[in-house]
Amino acid sequence: MVNANYIFFLTLNNYLVNGTLMNVNIPLPVGSRVFLTVNREFDFGNGTMIRLIHVMLNGKSMNVTSIMLTMNDSYVVNYVWARYYHLWVVDESNQLVNMSGWYLDGSIINITVSRAIAYLGNNTRLVFNGFMTNATHYLTSGNSIILLISSPTILILDWIKEYNVSLILYTINGTQITREYLGWLLKGYEITNITINGINYKIKTLIITKPSLTATVYAEYRRFIVRDIFGIPEPFTTVEIRCGVQVISATTNALGLTPNILTPINTTCIVVPRLLGYYSIMIIAIIIVLITVTLLILDRGIRNKVGFNDSTER
């Protein structure tokens, strides 16, 4: 049996040993020497860390990490730690990555996205779309979020990537049509139609993956000869060409031909002419003039003949 007059007790509270906080009560011989030491901070490797605030030796605060004790009395050593959790901020725009780091348990963090549109160059930009987090307590308002740090926390800024899109358009036969600028479109956006000079055309389905793309339009270039009801070509006239529900306007040349017109394939196109073209009107006018002249000549001849007969009878 140990004589109580020859031992003192060393009580350790929250003493860090191999990543574990321990509470122990150790009997030690009188006069023995004890060396206690701990790290100032310890990372548990799961987004949790503790930092030593101070050490309480028999109720007296000490800002040390190591203590040498001679057991001439009993001692109570309390290690006071502060718990920290890591916040990971994932931000593709790199505006708020500096907010990542260790925060004291119970901290309230206010984070605001100052630029809701981040231009990356090369006709590419990011548009802010909200926050995603595993935090259990948080509040969002517009471009801001308030987090209560009570565990390892991940905050992801959700960005939508957009491209300032331009399309080089080709006919189904491979003839280049034009370049169309579509403005800012969402990455992954699907295009099935395109408007060229106010006319809508179907295109081979296109997924937006970068700013500059090519697309095949289901259309081809055609020329039309425009004739009136007499079958005579109509020169220098503006006509409507109906291709399904689309109406295309064109002006003919001296031969009654339209320029090359981009028309949808697999669609019947009908020319809507005027009843009378310039040539028909001209021909009709000439005929009227000829008839008028002829009638005048005949009328004059008749009048002269009648006058001659009257003078003969007298």
Q: Considering Cα of 233, then 236, then 237, then 243, what sign does the dihedral take?
A: positive
Domain hosting residue 228, numbered range = 220-278
Structure tokens at 78: 């309390």
Say if 313 falls within a structural domain: no
Q: Which of 85, 116, 147 is the last residue of a domain?
A: 85
Question: Are 75 and 109 members of one domain?
Answer: no
Query: Could you tell me if 77 and 67 are in contact, meaning their C-beta atoms sit under 8 angstroms apart?
Result: yes
Task: Name 86's Cβ contacts closer than 8 Å, sequence gap at least 6.
Answer: 47, 48, 49, 100, 101, 102, 103, 152, 153
Tens of pLDDT along 213-264?
Answer: 999 999 999 888 888 767 777 788 888 888 877 888 888 888 888 888 898 8
Domain identity same for 225 and 209:
no
Q: What is the number of domains present in the chain? A: 4
Q: What is the DSSP letter of 277?
A: -
In a domain, 258, yes or no: yes
Residue 228 per-residue DSSP state: -
Q: Tokens standing for 265?
A: 């394939």
Q: How confident is the model at residue 2 (pLDDT cuts 50, 70, 90)?
A: very low
**pLDDT tens by residue, 152-193:** 999 999 999 999 999 999 999 999 999 999 999 999 999 999
Q: Residue 152 class from Cβ within 10 Å (0-12 exposed, 13-18 middle, 19+ buried)?
A: middle
Q: Is residue 81 domain-shared with residue 99, that is, in the same domain?
A: no
298 lies in a domain?
A: no
Same domain, 124 and 151: yes
Q: Give this prediction's pTM.
A: 0.70
Name which residue leads in pLDDT, 314 or 131: 131
